[in-house]
Every structure is written in C-alpha cells, then in structure tokens.
Amino acid sequence: MRKLNQTWLLLLFFLVSSLVSAQDLHTQQLSKNVYHLDFASSYLGGRSESMLLIVPDNYAQNPKLHYPSVYLLHGYSGNYRDWVKNYESQLVRTANNDQMILVMPDGLYGSWFLNSPISESS
C-alpha cells in the first residue's frame, strides 16, 4: 500500500507541477529518496522522456503537505542522471533540510531544454 501511495503521489506531483499531459508514466524507486520516471507526452509529440526526482524522507508520510520544487538542468551534452551521479548524497540532504522536491529532467543532448514536438522536416 505504501508503494502505491508513493507512486500515486509522484504521479500527481508530476502531472500538476509540470503541466505535462502524461499518456504513459512508469516510475521506479532507485533508493529511499530517488525516483526515476519515464513518460510519454502529447506535448512532446508522444516522444518518451525521462527524469529523476529526489524527495524528502517524510514525503510519503505527509501527502497533504505542499513541497516547493527546484528544477536542476544539466549542461550541454549531459543528461538527467548527471546530478545524481555526482551529488546524490548532497542533494538528498538538501531535499531533507529544505523540505523540497528536486526535479532533474532530461534536456536531450543538444536541445537546450527546448523539446519542441515539431520535427525538423516540417
């Protein structure tokens, strides 16, 4: 039941906070605080994308609390895993200390986070 609640809360958070109409969402808990999300969105032309979330320890126990979110964007040629790969323990500590959710979307290799659904051939 706890895993279902966590998945539901993450789904709700994602849909409301990013205003993305997710058609297909898959979540995977990588550690106590880190979640991997794969989703397809009509806003992105149905293309599948990935992101990581870091939530505070008490996130699942306090479903009615509103948490601020901070989006961490990777650099050119990076990906959504770069922040966790290099700074996971510091980010988890920050999420807990400041009671916030950290969101690390994938901006693709050279898109500069402009994931337009319009193909270049149009």
CB 7 within 8 A of CB 19: no
Distances (CA, A) of 115 to 10, 38, 63, 102: 22, 15, 31, 20
CB 95 within 8 A of CB 32: no
CB 39 within 8 A of CB 24: yes
pLDDT digits (tens, 9 = 90+) for 52-100: 999 999 988 887 888 999 999 887 778 888 888 889 999 999 999 999 9
Q: What angle do CA 94, 71, 46 make, to 5 degrees?
A: 140
pLDDT digits (tens, 9 = 90+) for 23-53: 577 888 899 999 998 887 776 667 778 889 9
